[in-house]
Amino acid sequence: YFLGGYTRLQGGRWSDSRALSCVEQFDTFSHYWTTVSSLHQAWSGLSVAVVGGMVYAIGGEKDSMIFDCTECYDPVTKQWTTVASMNHPRCGLGVCTCYGAIYALGGWVGAEIGNTIERFDPEENSWDVVGSMAVPCYYFGCCEMQGLIYVVGGISSEGVELRSVEVYDPISKRWSELAPMGTGRAYLGVAALNDCIYAVGGWNESQDALATVERYSFEEEKWVEVASMKIPRAGVCVVAVNGFIYALGGRAPSHDFAVPVTSDSVEVYNSHVDSWTEIANMITSHCEGGVAVL
Protein backbone atom coordinates (compact mmCIF):
# COMPACT_ATOMS: atom_id res chain seq x y z
CA TYR A 1 0.00 0.00 0.00
CA PHE A 2 1.31 3.46 -0.91
CA LEU A 3 -0.34 6.37 0.93
CA GLY A 4 -0.54 10.10 0.43
CA GLY A 5 2.49 12.28 -0.19
CA TYR A 6 2.55 15.08 -2.72
CA THR A 7 2.78 15.27 -6.51
CA ARG A 8 4.30 17.89 -8.80
CA LEU A 9 4.32 17.62 -12.59
CA GLN A 10 6.97 18.68 -15.10
CA GLY A 11 7.12 22.42 -15.64
CA GLY A 12 5.30 23.13 -12.37
CA ARG A 13 6.21 25.87 -9.91
CA TRP A 14 7.29 25.19 -6.32
CA SER A 15 3.79 26.19 -5.25
CA ASP A 16 2.23 23.65 -7.63
CA SER A 17 2.89 20.66 -5.38
CA ARG A 18 -0.41 19.06 -4.37
CA ALA A 19 -0.92 16.95 -1.24
CA LEU A 20 -2.52 13.57 -1.97
CA SER A 21 -5.13 11.53 -0.13
CA CYS A 22 -5.10 8.65 -2.61
CA VAL A 23 -4.01 5.16 -1.60
CA GLU A 24 -2.64 2.67 -4.12
CA GLN A 25 -2.34 -1.06 -3.63
CA PHE A 26 0.31 -3.16 -5.39
CA ASP A 27 0.05 -6.90 -5.92
CA THR A 28 3.63 -8.23 -5.81
CA PHE A 29 2.61 -11.34 -7.80
CA SER A 30 0.60 -9.78 -10.64
CA HIS A 31 2.70 -6.56 -10.56
CA TYR A 32 -0.51 -4.56 -10.89
CA TRP A 33 -1.48 -1.29 -9.15
CA THR A 34 -5.07 -0.49 -8.11
CA THR A 35 -6.58 2.31 -6.02
CA VAL A 36 -8.38 1.67 -2.73
CA SER A 37 -10.28 3.98 -0.35
CA SER A 38 -8.60 7.37 0.06
CA LEU A 39 -7.41 8.85 3.33
CA HIS A 40 -9.82 11.33 4.96
CA GLN A 41 -7.09 13.96 4.77
CA ALA A 42 -4.58 14.76 2.00
CA TRP A 43 -1.09 15.07 3.47
CA SER A 44 2.61 14.55 2.86
CA GLY A 45 5.48 13.93 5.28
CA LEU A 46 3.37 11.29 7.03
CA SER A 47 4.58 7.92 8.30
CA VAL A 48 2.89 4.55 8.10
CA ALA A 49 2.92 1.41 10.26
CA VAL A 50 1.11 -1.93 10.37
CA VAL A 51 -0.07 -3.60 13.57
CA GLY A 52 -2.74 -6.25 14.07
CA GLY A 53 -3.40 -6.46 10.33
CA MET A 54 -4.37 -2.77 10.17
CA VAL A 55 -2.56 0.06 8.37
CA TYR A 56 -1.99 3.28 10.36
CA ALA A 57 -1.23 6.65 8.70
CA ILE A 58 0.32 9.01 11.24
CA GLY A 59 1.11 12.74 11.25
CA GLY A 60 2.12 14.72 8.17
CA GLU A 61 1.48 18.18 6.78
CA LYS A 62 -0.46 20.06 4.14
CA ASP A 63 0.07 23.72 3.17
CA SER A 64 2.42 24.19 6.17
CA MET A 65 -0.24 22.92 8.60
CA ILE A 66 1.16 20.03 10.66
CA PHE A 67 -1.14 17.22 11.84
CA ASP A 68 -1.30 15.08 14.96
CA CYS A 69 -4.01 12.79 13.60
CA THR A 70 -3.91 9.04 13.04
CA GLU A 71 -6.04 7.16 10.52
CA CYS A 72 -6.53 3.40 10.51
CA TYR A 73 -7.31 1.27 7.42
CA ASP A 74 -9.10 -2.05 7.76
CA PRO A 75 -8.34 -4.20 4.66
CA VAL A 76 -11.47 -6.31 5.31
CA THR A 77 -14.01 -3.44 5.34
CA LYS A 78 -11.73 -1.35 3.05
CA GLN A 79 -12.51 1.72 5.17
CA TRP A 80 -10.42 4.37 6.95
CA THR A 81 -11.37 5.43 10.48
CA THR A 82 -9.87 8.16 12.66
CA VAL A 83 -8.29 6.91 15.90
CA ALA A 84 -6.54 8.72 18.79
CA SER A 85 -4.30 11.65 17.86
CA MET A 86 -0.67 12.01 18.94
CA ASN A 87 0.20 14.39 21.77
CA HIS A 88 2.26 16.51 19.36
CA PRO A 89 1.57 17.29 15.68
CA ARG A 90 4.57 16.27 13.58
CA CYS A 91 5.70 15.69 10.00
CA GLY A 92 8.90 14.09 8.72
CA LEU A 93 8.63 11.73 11.69
CA GLY A 94 9.78 8.13 11.94
CA VAL A 95 7.33 5.38 12.77
CA CYS A 96 7.69 1.66 13.35
CA THR A 97 5.96 -1.23 15.05
CA CYS A 98 7.67 -2.87 18.02
CA TYR A 99 6.23 -5.33 20.56
CA GLY A 100 2.67 -4.83 19.27
CA ALA A 101 2.75 -1.04 19.67
CA ILE A 102 3.56 1.81 17.27
CA TYR A 103 6.42 4.17 18.08
CA ALA A 104 6.49 7.68 16.57
CA LEU A 105 9.85 9.43 16.83
CA GLY A 106 11.05 12.98 16.28
CA GLY A 107 9.91 14.92 13.23
CA TRP A 108 9.22 18.57 12.58
CA VAL A 109 6.67 19.99 15.03
CA GLY A 110 6.37 23.56 13.74
CA ALA A 111 9.04 26.07 14.67
CA GLU A 112 11.41 23.36 15.88
CA ILE A 113 12.34 19.69 15.79
CA GLY A 114 10.36 17.37 18.03
CA ASN A 115 12.60 15.42 20.37
CA THR A 116 9.90 13.22 21.93
CA ILE A 117 8.99 9.59 21.32
CA GLU A 118 5.34 8.57 21.52
CA ARG A 119 3.90 5.08 21.79
CA PHE A 120 0.47 4.07 20.45
CA ASP A 121 -1.36 1.18 22.06
CA PRO A 122 -3.95 -0.11 19.54
CA GLU A 123 -5.86 -1.97 22.29
CA GLU A 124 -6.24 1.17 24.41
CA ASN A 125 -6.42 3.53 21.40
CA SER A 126 -4.09 5.99 23.12
CA TRP A 127 -0.73 7.72 22.58
CA ASP A 128 1.73 8.24 25.46
CA VAL A 129 5.03 10.12 25.47
CA VAL A 130 7.58 7.48 26.50
CA GLY A 131 11.00 9.01 25.86
CA SER A 132 13.11 11.46 23.92
CA MET A 133 15.43 11.39 20.92
CA ALA A 134 19.20 11.07 21.41
CA VAL A 135 19.72 13.42 18.45
CA PRO A 136 16.57 15.42 17.55
CA CYS A 137 16.06 15.19 13.78
CA TYR A 138 13.43 14.99 11.07
CA TYR A 139 13.01 13.38 7.63
CA PHE A 140 15.24 10.48 8.72
CA GLY A 141 14.96 6.79 7.86
CA CYS A 142 13.50 4.46 10.47
CA CYS A 143 13.11 0.70 10.81
CA GLU A 144 12.69 -2.00 13.44
CA MET A 145 14.91 -5.06 13.66
CA GLN A 146 14.91 -7.70 16.42
CA GLY A 147 13.13 -5.46 18.92
CA LEU A 148 15.33 -2.39 18.38
CA ILE A 149 14.46 0.82 16.49
CA TYR A 150 17.04 2.28 14.10
CA VAL A 151 17.11 6.00 13.26
CA VAL A 152 19.24 6.65 10.16
CA GLY A 153 20.35 10.05 8.83
CA GLY A 154 17.86 12.94 8.72
CA ILE A 155 18.20 16.68 9.26
CA SER A 156 19.65 17.97 12.54
CA SER A 157 18.58 21.01 14.54
CA GLU A 158 21.44 22.88 12.79
CA GLY A 159 19.90 22.04 9.40
CA VAL A 160 22.66 19.58 8.45
CA GLU A 161 22.05 16.22 6.73
CA LEU A 162 23.25 13.54 9.14
CA ARG A 163 25.43 10.46 8.60
CA SER A 164 24.69 9.20 12.10
CA VAL A 165 22.79 6.04 13.04
CA GLU A 166 21.11 5.85 16.46
CA VAL A 167 19.58 2.72 18.02
CA TYR A 168 16.68 2.88 20.49
CA ASP A 169 15.77 0.05 22.84
CA PRO A 170 12.08 0.55 23.74
CA ILE A 171 12.39 -1.75 26.78
CA SER A 172 15.33 -0.03 28.52
CA LYS A 173 14.53 3.33 26.81
CA ARG A 174 18.26 3.71 26.15
CA TRP A 175 20.03 4.92 23.01
CA SER A 176 23.26 3.61 21.46
CA GLU A 177 25.14 4.40 18.24
CA LEU A 178 26.20 2.45 15.16
CA ALA A 179 28.96 3.41 12.73
CA PRO A 180 27.94 6.42 10.59
CA MET A 181 27.02 6.12 6.91
CA GLY A 182 29.48 7.20 4.24
CA THR A 183 27.07 9.88 2.98
CA GLY A 184 24.87 12.33 4.88
CA ARG A 185 21.24 11.69 3.89
CA ALA A 186 17.82 13.13 4.66
CA TYR A 187 14.50 12.25 2.94
CA LEU A 188 15.87 8.70 2.56
CA GLY A 189 14.21 5.31 2.77
CA VAL A 190 15.38 2.56 5.12
CA ALA A 191 14.63 -1.17 5.23
CA ALA A 192 15.91 -4.21 7.13
CA LEU A 193 16.68 -7.32 5.06
CA ASN A 194 18.73 -10.46 5.82
CA ASP A 195 20.17 -9.05 9.07
CA CYS A 196 21.35 -5.91 7.27
CA ILE A 197 20.00 -2.35 7.15
CA TYR A 198 19.76 -0.57 3.80
CA ALA A 199 19.80 3.24 3.45
CA VAL A 200 18.31 4.09 0.07
CA GLY A 201 18.49 7.36 -1.87
CA GLY A 202 17.57 10.58 -0.09
CA TRP A 203 18.96 14.08 -0.42
CA ASN A 204 21.80 16.26 0.76
CA GLU A 205 22.67 19.85 0.01
CA SER A 206 25.90 19.16 -1.87
CA GLN A 207 24.64 16.31 -4.09
CA ASP A 208 20.87 16.97 -4.32
CA ALA A 209 18.71 13.84 -4.82
CA LEU A 210 20.71 10.62 -4.36
CA ALA A 211 20.63 7.33 -6.27
CA THR A 212 23.26 5.72 -4.02
CA VAL A 213 22.48 2.93 -1.57
CA GLU A 214 24.42 1.82 1.52
CA ARG A 215 24.13 -1.41 3.50
CA TYR A 216 25.05 -1.88 7.16
CA SER A 217 26.34 -5.32 8.08
CA PHE A 218 26.14 -6.20 11.77
CA GLU A 219 28.88 -8.80 11.27
CA GLU A 220 31.32 -6.26 9.83
CA GLU A 221 29.95 -3.32 11.86
CA LYS A 222 30.28 -0.96 8.93
CA TRP A 223 28.42 0.54 5.97
CA VAL A 224 29.32 -0.40 2.39
CA GLU A 225 27.95 1.00 -0.86
CA VAL A 226 25.92 -1.43 -2.95
CA ALA A 227 24.38 -0.97 -6.41
CA SER A 228 22.80 2.45 -6.98
CA MET A 229 19.20 2.84 -8.12
CA LYS A 230 18.52 3.64 -11.77
CA ILE A 231 17.36 7.16 -10.86
CA PRO A 232 18.02 9.50 -7.91
CA ARG A 233 15.14 9.67 -5.43
CA ALA A 234 14.65 12.11 -2.53
CA GLY A 235 11.53 11.60 -0.41
CA VAL A 236 11.52 7.96 -1.52
CA CYS A 237 9.49 5.25 0.22
CA VAL A 238 11.29 1.97 0.82
CA VAL A 239 10.03 -1.40 2.07
CA ALA A 240 11.28 -5.00 2.21
CA VAL A 241 8.88 -7.62 0.80
CA ASN A 242 9.51 -11.32 0.13
CA GLY A 243 13.29 -10.92 0.27
CA PHE A 244 13.40 -7.89 -2.05
CA ILE A 245 13.61 -4.14 -1.38
CA TYR A 246 11.14 -1.87 -3.16
CA ALA A 247 11.89 1.84 -3.74
CA LEU A 248 8.78 3.82 -4.67
CA GLY A 249 8.36 7.34 -6.00
CA GLY A 250 10.36 10.28 -4.71
CA ARG A 251 11.56 13.40 -6.48
CA ALA A 252 14.28 14.02 -9.04
CA PRO A 253 17.20 16.46 -8.62
CA SER A 254 16.41 20.12 -9.35
CA HIS A 255 18.61 20.77 -12.40
CA ASP A 256 19.49 24.41 -13.20
CA PHE A 257 17.14 25.74 -10.49
CA ALA A 258 14.20 23.94 -12.13
CA VAL A 259 11.56 22.69 -9.70
CA PRO A 260 12.09 18.96 -8.96
CA VAL A 261 9.48 16.65 -10.47
CA THR A 262 7.90 13.78 -8.50
CA SER A 263 8.24 10.21 -9.78
CA ASP A 264 5.76 7.38 -10.33
CA SER A 265 8.49 4.81 -10.97
CA VAL A 266 9.24 1.77 -8.79
CA GLU A 267 12.48 -0.20 -8.55
CA VAL A 268 13.19 -3.54 -6.88
CA TYR A 269 16.55 -4.52 -5.39
CA ASN A 270 17.76 -8.12 -5.48
CA SER A 271 20.50 -8.50 -2.85
CA HIS A 272 21.71 -11.83 -4.30
CA VAL A 273 22.81 -10.23 -7.57
CA ASP A 274 23.21 -6.67 -6.21
CA SER A 275 21.03 -5.01 -8.85
CA TRP A 276 17.93 -2.85 -9.23
CA THR A 277 15.14 -3.57 -11.74
CA GLU A 278 12.33 -1.21 -12.73
CA ILE A 279 8.81 -2.62 -12.46
CA ALA A 280 5.26 -1.33 -13.06
CA ASN A 281 4.85 2.40 -12.37
CA MET A 282 2.42 3.67 -9.77
CA ILE A 283 -0.82 5.28 -10.99
CA THR A 284 0.18 8.70 -9.58
CA SER A 285 3.63 10.18 -8.97
CA HIS A 286 4.28 10.50 -5.22
CA CYS A 287 6.93 11.99 -2.96
CA GLU A 288 7.14 11.94 0.85
CA GLY A 289 4.28 9.47 1.16
CA GLY A 290 4.08 6.34 3.28
CA VAL A 291 4.25 2.64 2.49
CA ALA A 292 2.96 -0.48 4.25
CA VAL A 293 2.89 -4.22 3.57
CA LEU A 294 0.01 -6.53 4.44
The domain of 107 spans 2-291
On whether the CB atoms of residues 121 and 98 are closer than 8 A, the answer is: no
pTM of the model: 0.96
The number of distinct structural domains making up the chain is 1
Mean pLDDT (the chain, rounded): 96
pLDDT at residue 145 is higher than 70: yes
Mapping DSSP to helix (H, G, I), strand (E, B) and coil, where does residue 110 land? coil
Separation of alpha carbons 245 and 267, rounded Å: 8
CATH number at residue 102: 2.120.10.80
φ/ψ (deg, to 5) at 292: -145, 155
State pLDDT tens for residues 23-66: 999 999 999 999 999 999 999 999 999 999 999 999 999 999 99
Q: What pLDDT sits at residue 258?
A: 77
| Rama region for 76: left / alpha / beta (φ>0; ψ in -120 to 50; rest) | alpha
State pLDDT tens for residues 149-175: 999 999 999 999 999 999 999 999 999
